[in-house]
Amino acid sequence: MAHDSNGPPQMHATTILMVRKGGRVVIGGDGQVSLGQTIVKGNARKVRRLAKGSVIGGFAGATADAFTLFERLEAKLEQYPGQLTRACVELTKDWRTDRYLRRLEAMMLVADKDVSLLLSGAGDVLEPESGVMAIGSGGNYALAAARALEDSGHDAEDIVRRAMRIAAEICVYTNGNLVIETLETSDS
């Protein structure tokens, strides 16, 4: 997102990475929030637990929009307990059709013990082909690094930490201040 000469500086996204490997799913995110060419915060918490700790999620995009989406997802998870995919499909339906939600600019990665998903305002509920998925400004860098490390002897958390460090070295909208959440998976 670049500065638009017709409006205020735009907030840049972040880097969120998810790796499912070896009986664990890990989501990590950096803490940087940038407004135009200025870093306005270095320790934002963009990864969190939902559904009493049984779901982890991370967001990239406008912070207030992401908090709204987390709240809506939490409500859907209460409505459909233990059904992450169903809750996400219902959230994205609302996201696409609700006049207020439709304007929200964010993406989310969410996971529980069984499934990992990417959610977008375009109506996407996508499961990664492999156990790796990333979003945000540095997402492609983190994704490439994680895929390169995927077949190594490193565990899921170590892959997330290493790949995020690489993304932070390349993407100016990503820093090394990480928040990481982990869940044991059903294949552990």
The CA distance from 45 to 186, in Å, is: 27
- Phi (first) and psi of residue 61, to 5 degrees: 130, -160
**Which residues have CB under 8 Å from 132's CB, separation 6+?**
17, 18, 19, 20, 143, 146, 147, 150, 159
CA distances in angstroms from 27 to 38, 49, 63, 98, 183, listed in the order given: 26, 10, 17, 28, 9
Which amino acid, residue 124?
D
- Out of 14, 15, 92, 185, the active site residue is 14
Note if 97 is an active site residue.
no
Active site positions, annotated: 14
